[in-house]
């Protein structure tokens, strides 16, 4: 079949451009005119479509990969035909293949580990379903524009033993012969350099062949070269079968010895001497990654220089040494300011505020704190403020031995607070061998010592989120704006306070007043400083739940994450919005990263539990809910959401007991109304539902969930509309909440989802 030209139509798909070609078909970018989205089409050549054996393999590819629902595996949408053309429709993955990102010197060790772990996650998911890739190579690994890893082209995959037939030697011949030309140096390119010895011999290949290929890929990522070379296919095959490659560490001394050993074991020619499973390899690589991040040495030949390779830091709450305890907000605020500045550096992992502040006022050994937070260094200090003078004492401590890497005392007037803050951040980055990266602003942000103190106080009050503290925070923000009208941080802060008041239902007869005030303030903040993460975060809170522009909302939070890559809070918000738009697998992956940045935040762990619940991974969500409740036994909605996880696992007595422990009445009644219905106690469910409705219309989403579980679809849709009218934040969950599964087949569902902006 001739190459498809742009504009060609295959059924509802219009060809945009060719993306590539291989032995199992040509790949095109195409536009799905029905759904208004771009997809990838893998078209089977006519010669292959006419071959029953090769056609069967093509269809097998669709079946095997379609069962895999994983954030690091390309998604197969469908297998279709238009006339005589057979093709797959797949997720369109935009970015660069790994082979284009490799450098002659190798990748940074942490980067190589991160990508290898993602590949192993994909292989684990496939292998545990009996699927072997058989063609793993850098050209089949895509790094998306936002840094995600996607394993492509399971074109040579075959169900493993017990799930399918024997290996087909003709497939080996195909893999060896469908190659790019020999390079000018005579090096063989393409699939053959990544084949395991058993594949070259035409023997039956299982999951361990993928681990051999993974060893080659990891070796190449670390050293910039392949372990086996040859000027011809025969030379290359001989090298793979017989030669022992140079160790990766001999080519690059900074590679940790344990990592070098893992690569060597993956490259064992006898598959019985390799790792048994991808999960085993991942566990060992993950242990090395954790050592690199914590700076912990693993003995002779361990992770040498780890703190310099992947530094990590927790900023502990500075002690308030002032005579006035009311100055606590100043010491806490200065701590958070430093944390936010340092968290903007992608080369430094900074533990989130909630986890760091969990140790506020606790007299614990610094090394124990560091180990609990999983960091290599701690920044601690104290603040003494008297009138317009401030004394700040800081120490940077190495967790492994308690050694002080740097310490300093600053005696300044308050007008110099910005210079002190900048100097501390620079000294920390210098001591940790990290380049302090700024975020370029459109214009220098106004700096005023008086407004600095006002903003710290206002932020301290806003975080408490009571009606009184929010009102007081608004007054302080207004005072700061009156002093410096062009201070973007003041506008972003007051926007957050207004949005929070809106969500809490605060108004004086005009329900939308707080929203309008928030919108005006956030627009002003973004215009004044488009590189302020907090501004984009609050914009996302407005665009999605209030204005129903969910895609734009996710873009806003992505912008915030790009500006502050070390923020676990922002990462979790991105995970939530990503899940709301239906990409639950990616939301799970993002939530895992968020928890790693803020281990002791009950809210972060609870949100990960929710996302696992959306993914129908109920046992994992149970464990996360339990952990969140351990961190904060009274956290709002924690017991109710655990009850729902128990209920959908069929553990109804446990669900009822958990629901009874929920302190927030609305959440408790939601869970009880659901669980009683599933237990068959209609009267108790009726009573709980009536009480929930009496709590007010801001519980509309929970009411509709109970009606949906009860099968009362007319009432469920009526309350769904009510939730839309009152801009209930729960509407973000309509695509993913399992309680609404029964509604999604109703013809009223899709038009409503479109009205909410969750479906194009």
pLDDT of residue 447: 54
Largest Cα–Cα distance of the chain, in whole Å?
A: 86
pLDDT of residue 235: 87
User: Taking residues 506-521, what's their average pLDDT?
Assistant: 83
DSSP state of 166: -
Query: Which run of H or of E encompasses 314?
Result: strand 312-315
pLDDT of residue 434: 58
449-464 and 417-431 helices cross at what angle (nearest 10)? 70
pLDDT of residue 440: 36
Instruction: Give CATH superfamily name and number for 311-431.
Output: ABC-type transport auxiliary lipoprotein component (3.40.50.10610)
d(CA 556, CA 548): 13
Supply angle C-alpha 343, 346, 348, rounded to 5. 65
Contact 410, 391 (CB under 8 A): yes
298 has pLDDT over 50: no
pLDDT of residue 444: 40
259-273, 424-438, 682-696: least confidently modelled range: 424-438
431 has pLDDT over 80: no
| Rg, C-alpha atoms of the chain | 28
pLDDT, the chain, mean: 82
User: Taking residues 730-738, what's their average pLDDT?
Assistant: 88
Active-site residue (options: 121, 135, 260, 598): 135
pLDDT higher for 314 or 44? Answer: 314
Overall CATH class of domain 96-294: mainly alpha
DSSP string, 617-638: -HHHHHHHHHHHHHH-TT-TTH
Extents of the domains making up the chain: 9-90, 96-294, 311-431
Closest CA to 371 of 332, 397, 341: 397
d(CA 545, CA 490): 23
> Between the CA of residue 385 and those of 44, 340, 413, 480, what are the distances in Å?
73, 22, 9, 20
d(CA 297, CA 324): 43
CB-count exposure of residue 180 (10 Å: 0-12, 13-18, 19+): exposed
User: What distance lies between CA 21 and its chain's CA centroid?
Assistant: 31
Contact 315, 356 (CB under 8 A): yes
pLDDT of residue 23: 54
Tell me the pLDDT tens digit for each residue of 601-640.
889 999 999 999 999 999 889 999 998 999 888 898 999 9
* pLDDT band (50, 70, 90) for residue 197: very high
- Which residues are CB-contacts of 604 (< 8 A; sequence separation ≥ 6)? 352, 354, 568, 569, 572, 594, 595, 598
CB-count exposure of residue 581 (10 Å: 0-12, 13-18, 19+): buried
pLDDT of residue 477: 93
pLDDT of residue 346: 64
d(CA 417, CA 448): 9
Closest CA to 557 of 544, 547, 338: 544
20 has pLDDT over 70: yes
Contact 358, 422 (CB under 8 A): no
759 has pLDDT over 80: no
Is 529 annotated in the active site? no
d(CA 93, CA 40): 8
Question: Could you tell me the two tokens for 502?
Answer: 């809106």
DSSP state of 410: E
The pair phi, psi for residue 253, each rounded to 5°, is: -65, -20
d(CA 96, CA 363): 49
* pLDDT band (50, 70, 90) for residue 61: low
Sign of torsion over alpha carbons 129, 132, 136, 140: negative
- As a 3-state breakdown, the chain gives helix, strand, coil percent values, each rounded to 5, of 55, 10, 35
Residue 239: how many other CB atoms lie within 10 Å: 18
What global pTM score does this model have? Answer: 0.57
486 has pLDDT over 70: yes
pLDDT of residue 50: 72
744 has pLDDT over 80: yes
Instruction: Give CATH superfamily name and number for 9-90.
Output: Phosphorylase Kinase; domain 1 (3.30.200.20)
76-90, 227-241, 462-476, 666-680: least confidently modelled range: 76-90
pLDDT of residue 205: 84
| pLDDT above 70 as % of the chain | 87
Tell me the pLDDT tens digit for each residue of 550-582.
888 889 999 988 888 778 889 899 999 899 888
332 has pLDDT over 80: yes
226 has pLDDT over 80: yes
pLDDT of residue 147: 78
pLDDT of residue 387: 78
Tell me the pLDDT tens digit for each residue of 360-410.
877 778 878 887 787 888 999 888 888 778 888 888 888 877 788 888 888
d(CA 743, CA 745): 6
d(CA 485, CA 483): 6
* Terminal CA-CA length for the chain: 34
701 has pLDDT over 70: yes
């Amino acid at each position: 079949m001739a190459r498809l030209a742009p504009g060609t139509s295959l059924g509802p798909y219009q060809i945009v451009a060719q993306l590539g070609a291989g032995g199992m078909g040509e790949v095109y970018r195409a536009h799905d005119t029905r759904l208004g989205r771009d997809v990838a089409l893998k078209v089977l050549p006519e010669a292959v479509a006419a071959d029953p054996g090769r056609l069967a393999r093509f269809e097998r590819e669709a079946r095997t990969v379609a069962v895999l629902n994983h954030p690091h595996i390309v998604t197969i949408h469908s297998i279709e035909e238009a006339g005589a053309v057979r093709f797959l429709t797949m997720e369109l993955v935009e970015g660069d293949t790994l082979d284009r990102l490799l450098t002659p010197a190798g990748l940074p060790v942490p980067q190589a580990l991160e990508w290898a772990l993602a590949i192993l996650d994909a292989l684990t998911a496939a292998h545990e379903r009996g699927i072997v890739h058989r063609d793993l190579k850098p050209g089949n690994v895509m790094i998306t524009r936002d840094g995600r890893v996607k394993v492509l082209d399971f074109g040579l995959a075959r169900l493993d033993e017990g799930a399918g037939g024997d290996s087909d030697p003709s497939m080996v011949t195909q893999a060896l012969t469908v190659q790019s030309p020999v390079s000018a140096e005579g090096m063989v390119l393409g699939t053959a350099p990544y084949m395991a010895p058993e594949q070259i011999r035409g023997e039956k290949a299982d999951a361990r062949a993928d681990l051999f290929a993974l060893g080659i890929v990891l070796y190449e990522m670390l050293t910039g070269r392949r372990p086996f070379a040859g000027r011809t296919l025969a030379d290359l095959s001989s090298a793979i079968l017989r030669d022992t490659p140079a160790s990766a560490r001999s080519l690059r001394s900074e590679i940790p010895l344990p990592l070098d050993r893992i690569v060597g074991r993956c490259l064992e020619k006898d598959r019985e001497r390799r790792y048994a499973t991808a999960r085993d390899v991942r566990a060992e690589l993950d242990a090395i990654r954790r050592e690199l991040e914590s700076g912990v040495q693993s003995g002779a030949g361990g992770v040498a220089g780890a703190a310099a390779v992947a530094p990590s830091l927790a900023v502990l709450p500075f002690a308030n040494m002032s005579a006035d305890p009311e100055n606590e907000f100043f010491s806490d605020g200065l701590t958070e300011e430093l944390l936010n500045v340092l968290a903007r550096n992608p080369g430094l992992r900074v533990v989130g505020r909630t986890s760091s502040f969990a140790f506020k006022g606790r007299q614990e050994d610094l090394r124990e704190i560091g180990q609990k937070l999983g960091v290599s260094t701690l920044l601690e200090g104290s603040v003494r403020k008297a009138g317009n003078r401030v004394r700040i004492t800081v120490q940077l401590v190495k967790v492994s031995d308690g050694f002080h890497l740097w310490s300093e005392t600053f005696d300044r007037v308050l007008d110099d607070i910005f210079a002190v803050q900048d100097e501390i951040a620079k000294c920390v980055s210098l001591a940790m061998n990290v380049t302090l990266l700024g975020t370029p602003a459109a214009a220098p942000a106004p700096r005023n010592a008086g407004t600095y103190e006002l903003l710290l106080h206002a932020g301290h009050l806003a975080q408490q989120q009571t009606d009184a503290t929010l009102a007081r925070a608004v007054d302080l923000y207004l005072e700061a704006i009156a002093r410096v009208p062009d201070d973007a941080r003041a506008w972003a802060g007051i926007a957050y306070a207004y949005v929070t008041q809106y969500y809490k239902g605060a108004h004086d007869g005009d329900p939308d007043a707080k929203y309008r005030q928030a919108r005006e303030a956030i627009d002003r903040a973004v215009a004044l400083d488009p590189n302020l993460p907090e501004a984009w975060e609050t914009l996302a809170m407005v665009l999605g739940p209030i204005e129903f522009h969910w895609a734009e909302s996710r873009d806003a939070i992505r912008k915030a994450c790009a500006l502050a890559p070390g923020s676990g809070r922002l990462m979790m918000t991105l995970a939530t919005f990503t899940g709301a738009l239906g990409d639950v697998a990616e939301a799970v992956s993002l939530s895992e990263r968020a928890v790693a940045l803020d281990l002791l935040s009950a809210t972060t762990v609870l949100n990960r539990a929710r996302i696992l619940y959306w993914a129908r991974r109920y046992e994992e969500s149970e464990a996360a809910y339990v952990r969140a409740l351990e961190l904060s036994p009274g956290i709002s909605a924690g017991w109710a959401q655990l009850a729902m996880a128990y209920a959908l696992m069929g553990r109804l007595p446990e669900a009822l007991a958990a629901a009874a422990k929920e302190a927030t009445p609305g959440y408790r009644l939601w869970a009880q109304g659901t669980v009683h219905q599933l237990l068959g106690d209609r009267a108790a469910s009726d009573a709980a539902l009536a009480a929930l409705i009496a709590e007010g219309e801001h519980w509309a989403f929970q009411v509709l969930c109970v009606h949906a579980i009860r099968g009362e679809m007319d009432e469920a849709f009526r309350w769904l509309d009510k939730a839309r009218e009152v801009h209930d934040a729960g509407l973000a969950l309509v695509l993913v909440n399992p309680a609404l599964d029964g509604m999604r087949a109703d013809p009223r569902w899709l038009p409503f989802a479109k009205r909410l902006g969750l479906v194009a």
